[in-house]
Amino acid sequence: MDLLAPDNFADLSIHGIKELILKHNYGITSYVDIKNNKSHVILLLSKRSDNIYVNLLSSYKTDLVLNNIDKSKVLQWLPYQARLKNIIKILTNQTFEKILKNNLTDYFVEYLRLKEDELTLELVKRANNLAKIFSDESLYAMCYYNHHLSKQIDKDESIYNNKLICQICGGKCCLDSSCDYLVSDIKEFSVPYIRSLLDQGLASIKGVFYKDEDEKINILLILKAPNIKSGKIDLVSIDSKCSHLSDKGCTLSYENRPGFARHLIPSNLFKCYNDLDMDLENKKWASYQNILEEVIYLETGRTLEEELSREVEIFFCDVLKENFEGITPNSIKGAKILFKYLRNFYQDEYLKTLEIVTPKHILERKN
């Protein structure tokens, strides 16, 4: 990009700048300086190779080039900001703010479409810094991108398995919690087979709470990958790091990961999402509740109701005692929300926990 300082131009009046843009292949672009999570957008003139007179930030390639140029030349354009904004209004019949907003959205949409081999650490860092500042535009781009992606019947595997994004992220979602299995993941629905998965540390039994038509609480049993603080039976607890997360990423091959993990789409903007209808997927577990209940009884010697009551008490105690060592802020927030929800339905367990919890008492976690 050919960036020139103001002193390269003889006439920088409004008329003179219009002439440069309309007759001499110059255009208005912007330099976005980010410091301490705040942005400063500086307008400037540069050579253009197309018919777009105002191109503030619609290309990640342009932004990276601008981000690495001599900043002293950029700062020389500060006295001309009001004039350049007026010219943007004259040429486009739109305000500078609206043009910037639209260009940023285009930038994020273009960026989200990049494949792993097109990304670089510099590009990811820059785009994520911009996304923190311009959160509305990045969120809109994500919604637009996800909507169009959801229409694709055959998605490229690289969409789900972008190693560079996950490497940069460090597995933040895996630090929050482990992933759920889909019914289609389980090769055999029998008590011995399910117990073998539990024994191998590949799965634990989790409870999903929901209210029925009578506003009564119910629990749906499903299988999930274990987390580091769960036992084989983990009906209700504070979510923690997935037991399969290592310093080098997931220890399971992509094919052997729970279905929820395989359908998680890593986002270049760290706003990962899942393209499954989890309510629909969870309902498929309804046919296998008797098998999972039998496994619970064989593993604990307690019925589902007895084990659930016991675990609810432990969960209440953990939250009240703020037993949050090694737990991420997201998981703590989720636990507090679940705590407020469950105490309305399990009042006996809640009152019992209040009697147990004292400043000198620390409840041990599940064996």
pLDDT in tens, 13-45: 999 999 999 998 898 988 898 888 888 999 999
- Residue-level pLDDT at 1: 56
Q: Are both 50 and 171 inside the same structural domain? A: no
User: HEC string of 297-317?
Assistant: HHHHCCCHHHHHHHHHHHHHH
Residue 221 binned pLDDT confidence (cut-offs 50, 70, 90)? very high
Task: Read off the pLDDT of residues 299-334 as tens digits, 9 standing for 90 and up.
Answer: 999 999 999 999 999 999 999 999 999 999 999 999
CB atoms within 10 A of CB 229: 19
Structure-block tokens of residue 119: 């990304």
- Mean pLDDT of the chain, nearest integer: 89
| 256 plus 223 within the same structural domain | yes
Residue of 40, 48, 85, 49 lying closest to 67 (CA atoms): 40
Written as one string, the DSSP assignment of 51-113 is: S-SB-SS--HHHHHHHHTS-HHHHHTTGGGHHHHHHHHHHHHSS-HHHHHHHHHHHHHHHHHT
Whether 204 and 223 have beta carbons less than 8 Å apart is answered as yes
User: For the chain, how many structural domains are there in total?
Assistant: 2
pLDDT band with cut points at 50, 70 and 90 for residue 187: very high
Segment 227-245, tens digit of pLDDT: 999 899 999 999 999 999 9
Whether residue 293 sits in one domain with residue 259:
yes
Coil, helix or strand for 21?
Answer: helix
Domain boundary among 253, 282, 297: 297
Residue that is last in its domain, among 297, 317, 344: 297
Question: In the prediction, which pLDDT does 165 show?
Answer: 83
Domain membership of residue 327 (yes or no) is no
Q: Are residues 136 and 74 part of one domain?
A: yes
Percent of the chain with pLDDT over 90: 57
Which residues does 161 contact at the CB level (< 8 Å), separation at least 6? Answer: 254, 266
Domain boundary among 271, 297, 323: 297
**Residue 352 covered by a domain:** no
The verdict on 10 and 37 lying in the same domain is yes
- Identity at 130, one-letter amino acid code: L
If asked whether residues 179 and 214 sit together in one domain, one would say yes
Residue 311 lies in a domain: no
Domain that holds residue 215: 158-297
132-169: pLDDT as tens digits? 899 999 999 988 888 888 888 778 887 888 888 888 88
Does residue 294 carry a pLDDT above 50? yes
**pLDDT of 207 strictly over 50:** yes
Residue 108 is assigned to a structural domain of this protein: yes
Would you state the pLDDT for residue 359?
Answer: 53
Mind listing the pLDDT tens digit for each residue in 52-90?
Answer: 899 888 777 778 777 778 888 889 999 999 999 999 999
142 and 166 fall within a common domain: no
Q: Is 93 domain-assigned?
A: yes
Q: Looking at the domain assignment, is residue 263 inside a domain?
A: yes
**Residue 310 located in a structural domain:** no
* Residue 212 domain flag: yes
What pLDDT does 323 receive? Answer: 94
- The answer to whether 263 and 257 have CB atoms below 8 angstroms apart is no
- In this structure, the answer to whether residues 103 and 189 fall within a common structural domain is no
What pLDDT is attached to residue 71?
84
